Structures are given as C-alpha cells and as structure tokens.
C-alpha cells in the first residue's frame, strides 16, 4: 500500500489513474461511502503492491519511508544512496519488500450481543485476542458477571482467543479501596483466583488481563505478590496472564495512577503487559492528540529498559475527541469521535485537515452552526503507520486497541499491510 495526502483538486478518479488502481479499490480500502467527497489533508490508502516510487517535488526520503512503512536506512541501502538527503524529483526509488513481522493483536470491547458479534465477525481476522470489558471485582473476591457468551463464540469462529478482563472498576471509576481490600486479604485473593479459573473454564477464556488502576502506592508490593499468586494458579491450567500498565516514563514517576505499577516486577511475573499509551488528550482535559507519538516513545524507552520487548504490547486508540473552544476546565467534556466520522465532519464543515509532525497525529478546526469553534484530534492511516513503524523498530510483542465500536477501516488495512497476525486458536 501507499498513503496519499489529499491536495486541493484531487479526485479519486485522478488518483486511480496516477496509481494504477480502480476508484472502487481506493474507496473500499478507506471505507468511503461517497467516493466523490474528499477533504484536503485527508490521508488515503492506495492499495498498490509497490515495488518502486517516483519522487515527487517536496518529498524527502523520510516522508517516502513513512509512506511505505520502511526505515530510511532500508530505503538508502536498497537504492545505494550514500547521502540520503540527496534525492531528486523524478528519481525512481526501489521500495524494499521485507517479510512482514508476526505480532499479537488484542482489542477490548464493550459491545455485546448482536452488535458485538457483528464487530468481531467484521475484524476478527486481524485479532489474536478479544477482551470483553470487564469483570468488576468486589472487595470479597467475587465479581460481576458479563453477558459475553455470544462475542466469545464469535471470537472462536474467527480463530480469536478470548481474554478475560478483571478490573477494580466501580461507579464510573477505578476504586483504590476495592484494590486494597483484595490485595490485603489472602482469603479474598484465593476466592478471586478460584472464581477466575471457574469462569475461564466455563466460558472458554484462554488468557487473563488484570486491569487494576489507581492502586494505592503503599499497595505496590501487595499487588506484585497477588500477580505471582495469579500466575502460579493459572499457568498450570495453561492460561496466559497479562496486566495493564499506566504510561510511565521513569521508575520514579509519582501519582496514584503510576506508583503501584512496578514495570520490572510485571515484566518478570506475567506473560505480557499492555501499555496504556493513550489518553494524553482526554475527554475532560485540554485539546491535544490522544496518543502523540513523541509521548508514546518516552514510555516505550522506559519500558524496554526494564521489560523484555517480547512481553510488551503497545496500546493504541481507535478514537479521537471533538473539543469546543475555548477549553474550560470542568466544563462539558469533549465527545468521542471515530476516525471515519471525524473526516466526514471535516467535510461537512469545510475544514482542512492538518498534521502534527511531532505527535504524528491529524487534527482540524471548524465552526459549528452556532458559530462555536471546535478542534478535533483523531487517528488516520498516517498516524497508525507511524505507530506501526515504532512497533517494528522496538521489536514489540504487538498492539492492543481501546476500544472496538467506532469505524476505522483504514486501521485494519494498514495493520494487515504491515504485519502477519498471530493466531492461537
């Protein structure tokens, strides 16, 4: 594939002629409902098997490498370039076609019943794990149930391994009190582990994901001991155990979200970790990219220093937010917007999509019918390709998506173009 950024005057017909593919192929790869509508700055997947590239004015080796998902070094080597800065318009470059790395892909879902089944059947081929969210743990070691049988059956039909998720979530937030009650009570832990094993057997789960957040810093060692007990109880049953980790950039990072998440201990104890590398831009906070790559890399740099790379799964968002300006702390929170819907909204309000090079994320401003200014940060083919390049360069275990239920057809196409998805079923 290639990624084309729409310029003023572009049409799908012109692009189809330029790249030698059909209008329908471009529309299908990008999930375009109306092939006549393009937005300036919009990124489009061009589904070609590219072996060469003709340099256009203004292009650099870096931008061409980003487009094809290869490194500058690989491009320079394939074309015997002694000075990668010296390429000229009209020059033809060979694009190296490396074997696709094999990774694991997880996705969380809060959609159940027929809606959840339809989603899994649509994108299940791209998943290793499906994680229904979530079994909510109580202080006594019991937990709430989920009506997840239908999505689990759908997962198996797509050769996707269901992963059970337990949380300390209660009344719309993560409860430090529930986490403490369980972590400080060995009998509650025994009850919880027994309940987990019984549920996994009954429902066909193959892995467990522990998403305990806002644990009191004083409970850090208790949490590590609990995780070891979990592993000791589940490994003999051939179940995998994973955890979610807050996005830390150092061992000394302070705050209730971070301090009890012991990166080295998790890396030693569990089978893999999911880094929650998103929500820099969040619904109740000031506008910014949800997962700016420059911030994600800071987390990865710390993570790979204390956790084996083959145990690290990088979190990725499938959504963006639409903030009303000016931002006022404590005012109405920004609503979620899916990437496909974000582009459609840009078209409706005549916006031009821009791209933040530092965070590798698209955004745009617009004025609504009432004259209020908005800013939208979201994801597109460019931003996910940039993240996949990082996954490759760090040789990570895989990626994990929060959360299924918004339309982002580009993501799955780009994922499939970059990787071979490992299947455990």
Q: Is the separation of the CB atoms in 90 and 54 below 8 Å? A: yes
Q: Please give the pLDDT value at position 80.
A: 87
The values of phi and psi at residue 69, to 5°, are 70, 35
85 and 217 share a domain?
Answer: no
Residue 250's Cβ-side half-sphere holds a number of Cα atoms within 13 Å equal to: 4
One domain, residues 173 and 217: yes
Q: Are 113 and 154 in contact (CB under 8 A)?
A: no
- In terms of domains, do 86 and 70 share one? yes
Strand ranges for 151-264 from DSSP E:
161-167, 169-170, 173-174, 207-211, 240-245
Count of structural domains within the chain: 2
Residue numbers in the chain where pLDDT is lower than 70 = 49-50
- Asked if 77 and 161 sit in the same domain, the reply is no
Confidence at residue 49, expressed as pLDDT on a 0 to 100 scale: 65
Per-residue pLDDT at 78: 87
CB hemisphere CA count around 305 (13 angstroms): 11
pLDDT number for residue 169: 98
Largest CA distance in the chain: 71
Shared domain for 86 and 128, answered yes or no, is no
Choice among 25, 121, 125, 213 that is catalytic: 213
Q: Specify the residue for token string 């490994």.
A: 235
Task: Determine if residue 235 is left, alpha or beta; phi over 0 gives left, psi from -120 to 50 gives alpha, anything else beta.
Answer: alpha
Q: Judge if 56 and 171 occupy the same domain.
A: no
**Domain check: are 107 and 87 in the same one?**
no
What was the pLDDT predicted at 112? 98
Indicate the burial class of 283 (C-beta count within 10 angstroms; 0-12, 13-18, 19 or more): middle
Residue-wise pLDDT tens digits, 78-118:
898 988 788 999 888 888 877 899 999 999 999 999 999 99
- Tell me if 185 is assigned to some domain: yes
Angle made by CA atoms 381, 386, 392, in degrees to the nearest 5: 120
Let me know whether 196 and 290 are in one domain: yes
Residue 213 annotated as catalytic: yes
Enclosing domain of residue 81: 2-94
């Amino acid at each position: 594939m290639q990624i084309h950024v729409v310029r003023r005057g572009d049409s799908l017909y012109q692009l189809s002629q330029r790249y030698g593919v059909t209008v329908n192929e471009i529309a299908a790869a990008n999930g375009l409902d109306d092939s006549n509508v393009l937005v300036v700055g919009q990124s489009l997947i061009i589904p070609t098997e590219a072996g060469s590239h003709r340099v256009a004015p203004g292009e650099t080796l870096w931008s061409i490498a980003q487009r094809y998902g290869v490194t500058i070094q690989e491009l320079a080597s394939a074309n015997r370039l002694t000075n990668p800065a010296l390429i000229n318009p009209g020059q033809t470059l060979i694009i190296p076609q490396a074997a696709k790395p094999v990774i694991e892909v997880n996705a969380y879902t809060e959609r159940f019943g027929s809606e959840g089944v339809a989603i899994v059947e649509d994108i299940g081929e791209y998943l290793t794990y499906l994680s229904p969210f979530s079994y909510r743990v109580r202080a006594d070691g019991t937990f709430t149930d989920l009506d997840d049988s239908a999505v689990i059956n759908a997962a198996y039909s797509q050769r996707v391994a269901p992963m059970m998720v337990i949380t300390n979530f209660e009344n719309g937030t993560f409860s430090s009190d529930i986490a403490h009650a369980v972590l400080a009570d060995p009998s509650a832990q025994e009850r919880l582990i027994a309940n987990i094993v019984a549920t996994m057997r009954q429902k066909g789960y193959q892995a467990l994901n522990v998403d305990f957040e806002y644990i009191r810093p004083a409970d850090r060692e208790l949490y590590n001991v609990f995780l070891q007990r979990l592993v000791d109880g589940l490994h003999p049953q051939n179940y995998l155990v994973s955890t979610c980790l807050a996005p830390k950039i150092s061992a000394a990072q302070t705050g209730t979200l971070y301090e009890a998440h012991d990166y080295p201990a998790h890396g030693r104890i569990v089978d893999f970790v999911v880094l929650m590398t998103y929500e820099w831009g969040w619904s109740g906070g000031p506008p910014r990219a949800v997962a700016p790559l420059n911030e994600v890399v800071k987390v990865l740099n710390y993570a790979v220093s204390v956790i084996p790379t083959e145990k690290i799964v990088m979190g990725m968002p499938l959504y963006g937010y639409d903030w009303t300006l000016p931002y006022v702390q404590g005012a109405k929170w920004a609503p979620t917007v899916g990437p496909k819907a974000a582009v459609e909204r840009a078209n409706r309000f005549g916006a031009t999509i821009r791209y933040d090079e530092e965070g590798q994320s698209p955004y745009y401003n617009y004025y609504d019918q009432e004259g209020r200014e908005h800013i939208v940060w979201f994801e597109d083919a460019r931003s996910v390709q940039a993240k996949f390049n990082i996954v490759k360069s760090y040789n990570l275990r895989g990626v994990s998506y929060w959360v299924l239920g918004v339309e982002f057809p580009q993501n799955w196409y780009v994922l499939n173009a970059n990787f071979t998805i490992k299947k455990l079923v």
